[in-house]
Structure 1
Amino acid sequence: MRRFSLNLLFLTLVIVFSCQSNEEKKELKEVNFDINIQRIKMGENEAKVFNLKNSNGMEVELLSYGGVLSRIVVPDKDGNLENILLTYDKPEDFFRDTYFFGATAGRYANRIAKGRFEIDGVTYNLATNNGENHLHGGREGFNKKFWDAEILEVEDAIGVKMTYISPDGEEGYPGTLKTTMTFVLDHDNQLSITMRSETDKPTIVNLTHHGYFNLSGMKEDILNHELTIFADYYTPVNEGLIPTGELATVAGTPFDFTSPHKVGERIEETGRGYDHNFVIKKEHDGKLSKMAELIHTASGRKFTLYSNMPGVQFYSGNFLNGNQVTGGISYTKNFGLCLEPQFFPDSPNQAHFPSPRLNPGEVYEHQIVYKFEVIR
Structure 2
Amino acid sequence: MVNSIERRRFGHLPDGDDVDAVVLRNANGLRAKILTYGATLAVLEVPDRDGRSRNVVLGFATLDDYRQARGHLGGVIGRYANRLCNGRFTLDGRDVRVSVNEPPNTLHGGAQGFDRAVWRVEALQSDPAPAVTLAHVSPDGDQGFPGRVDVRVRYTLVTNALRLDYTATTDRTTVINLTNHSYFNLRGAGSGDVLDHELLIDADAFTPIDQYFIPTGERRPVTGTPFDFRTPTPIGSRIGLADEQLVRARGYDHNYVLQSGSGGDPVLAARVREPLSGLTMEVLTTEPGVQFYSGNFLNGRPYRARDGFCLETQHFPDSPNHPDFPSTVLRPGEVFQSATIFRFPFSPLSRGEES
Question: What TM-score, normalized to structure 1?
Answer: 0.87
8 A Cα contact 1:106 1:137, kept in partner: yes
Q: How far, CA to CA, are the matches of 1:42 and 1:81 in structure 2?
A: 31
* Deviations 1:221-268, CA, capped at 9 Å, x for gaps: 100000000000000000101000000000000000000000000001
Q: How far, CA to CA, are the matches of 1:287 and 1:56 in structure 2?
A: 23
Q: How far, CA to CA, are the matches of 2:288 and 2:261 in structure 1?
A: 7
Bigger RCO (CA 8 Å, 6+ sep): 2
Determine the structure 1 residue equivalent to 2:257.
Answer: 279
Determine the structure 1 residue equivalent to 2:351.
Answer: none
The code of the aligned residue for 1:210 comes to: H
Give the aligned length: 339
The code of the aligned residue for 2:53 comes to: L
Q: Which moved more, 1:96-105 or 1:110-119?
A: 96-105
The code of the aligned residue for 1:333 comes to: A
Q: How far, CA to CA, are the matches of 1:360 and 1:67 in structure 2?
A: 24
Secondary structure of the 1:56 match is: coil
Q: How far, CA to CA, are the matches of 2:29 and 2:347 in structure 1?
A: 17
Determine the structure 1 residue equivalent to 2:7.
Answer: 37
* Deviations 1:61-86, CA, capped at 9 Å, x for gaps: 00011110101011112111111111
* Deviations 1:12-59, CA, capped at 9 Å, x for gaps: xxxxxxxxxxxxxxxxxxx61121111232332101101111123211
* Deviations 1:60-112, CA, capped at 9 Å, x for gaps: 00001111010101111211111111111234532323210001010000000
Does residue 51 (structure 1) correspond to residue 23 (structure 2)? The answer is yes
Secondary structure of the 1:268 match is: coil
Does residue 304 (structure 1) correspond to residue 274 (structure 2)? The answer is no
8 A Cα contact 2:287 2:313, kept in partner: yes
Which of structures 1 and 2 has the bigger CA Rg? 1
Change (3 A) 1:134 1:302: same
Determine the structure 1 residue equivalent to 2:163.
Answer: 192
8 A Cα contact 2:151 2:166, kept in partner: yes
Q: Which runs of 5+ in 2 are unaligned?
A: 349-355
Q: How far, CA to CA, are the matches of 2:230 and 2:76 in structure 1?
A: 28
Aligned-pair distance for 1:211? Answer: 0.1
8 A Cα contact 2:178 2:314, kept in partner: yes
* Deviations 1:169-197, CA, capped at 9 Å, x for gaps: 000000000001111112x2211111100
8 A Cα contact 1:184 1:191, kept in partner: yes
8 A Cα contact 1:63 1:91, kept in partner: no
Determine the structure 2 residue equivalent to 1:324.
Answer: 301
Aligned-pair distance for 1:286? Answer: 3.8
Q: 2:184 aligns with which of 189, 192, 213?
A: 213
The code of the aligned residue for 1:296 comes to: E
Q: How far, CA to CA, are the matches of 1:361 and 1:150 in structure 2?
A: 22
The code of the aligned residue for 2:162 comes to: L
Secondary structure of the 1:114 match is: helix
Change (3 A) 1:112 1:251: same
Change (3 A) 1:375 1:265: farther
Does residue 157 (structure 1) correspond to residue 129 (structure 2)? The answer is yes
Determine the structure 2 residue equivalent to 1:236.
Answer: 208
Change (3 A) 1:355 1:297: same
Q: 1:76 aligns with which of 40, 45, 48?
A: 48
Q: How far, CA to CA, are the matches of 2:162 and 2:280 in structure 1?
A: 14
Determine the structure 1 residue equivalent to 2:292.
Answer: 314
Determine the structure 2 residue equivalent to 1:223.
Answer: 195
What is the aligned-residue RMSD (CA, Å)?
1.4
Change (3 A) 1:282 1:292: same
Aligned positions of 1:248-263 closer than 5 A: 248-263=220-235
Secondary structure of the 1:94 match is: helix
Change (3 A) 1:339 1:205: same
The code of the aligned residue for 1:149 comes to: V
Identity %: 40
Q: How far, CA to CA, are the matches of 2:88 and 2:168 in structure 1?
A: 21
Q: How far, CA to CA, are the matches of 2:29 and 2:89 in structure 1?
A: 46
Aligned-pair distance for 1:154? Answer: 6.6
Aligned positions of 1:313-352 closer than 5 A: 313-321=291-299, 323-325=300-302, 331-352=303-324
Q: Which has the higher strand share?
A: 1
